[in-house]
A and B are shown apart, each in its own frame.
Chain A
Amino acid sequence: RKEVEQDPGPFNVPEGATVAFNCTYSNSASQSFFWYRQDCRKEPKLLMSVYSSGNEDGRFTAQLNRASQYISLLIRDSKLSDSATYLCVVLTGGFKTIFGAGTRLFVKA
């Protein structure tokens, strides 16, 4: 079993749609969680950290469920510019950063 698993993609959605990604992790001792965004042939960039109480940043909402060991990312009112690969990232107790395989999102006009 992979340490971090994400929804298989790609997701194809129209502009304005709401889309949600899920990610599960296997190490219950994982400490921190993040969502990164990666554009084609570019380095990943931090989108948002995921806090236990859930957090929101504009159109993006992240949730963490430690009991079920999953995190989620919700994007509301999708824009064309949201098209990218979204990477679920888990920081383990040994401070290793583990990336999920990523979920491709295509937002179409």
Chain B
Amino acid sequence: GAVVSQHPSRVICKSGTSVKIECRSLDFQATTMFWYRQFPKQSLMLMATSNEGSKATYEQGVEKDKFLINHASLTLSTLTVTSAHPEDSSFYICSAREKWDTSGTYEQYFGPGTRLTVT
């Protein structure tokens, strides 16, 4: 099956610094990628949707200037957490969508996640 990778898997940074997380689709082209955030014991919350070559669409309440998303190619999307603060500590998961069949049904694959800790 399709594989989505994320890097790094775990990162610890100091408050005020920026962190970049990469998401790659390894054996398929992903026209759409999604970024989610998951706090402990809570479900995944969609942060933004990005299509290759265009600006990301952010969900309500997600600061686009703080969470910079770049979907530079059909296999790579990056999320940069700028000026990170302790409340940004979370599990960030990316997902890539591959068109499944001729009916337009989509299969969505998830990366393994990146655990961000801001001290």
Write the residues of chain A forming the contact surface with B, with a CB cutoff of 8 angstroms: 32, 41-46, 87, 91, 95-102
Report B86-102 CB contacts with A as 1/0, cut-off 8 Å: 00000101010000000
Size of the chain B interface, CB-CB below 8 angstroms: 21
11 further interface pairs, Cβ-Cβ under 8 Å (given A91-B106, A101-B43): A43-B111, A43-B113, A44-B110, A45-B110, A87-B44, A95-B32, A96-B49, A97-B34, A97-B108, A99-B36, A102-B43
The 7 closest A-B pairs by CB, nearest first: A43-B110, A101-B43, A99-B44, A99-B43, A43-B113, A102-B43, A43-B112
Query: For residue B93, which residues in chain A have a CB less than 8 angstroms away from its CB?
Result: 43-44
Closest A residue, CB atoms, query B108 = A97
Cβ contacts A to B, 28 pairs, < 8 Å: A32-B105, A32-B106, A41-B91, A41-B113, A42-B113, A43-B93, A43-B110, A43-B111, A43-B112, A43-B113, A44-B44, A44-B93, A44-B110, A46-B107, A46-B108, A87-B43, A87-B44, A96-B46, A96-B49, A97-B34, A97-B46, A97-B95, A97-B108, A98-B46, A99-B43, A99-B44, A99-B46, A101-B42
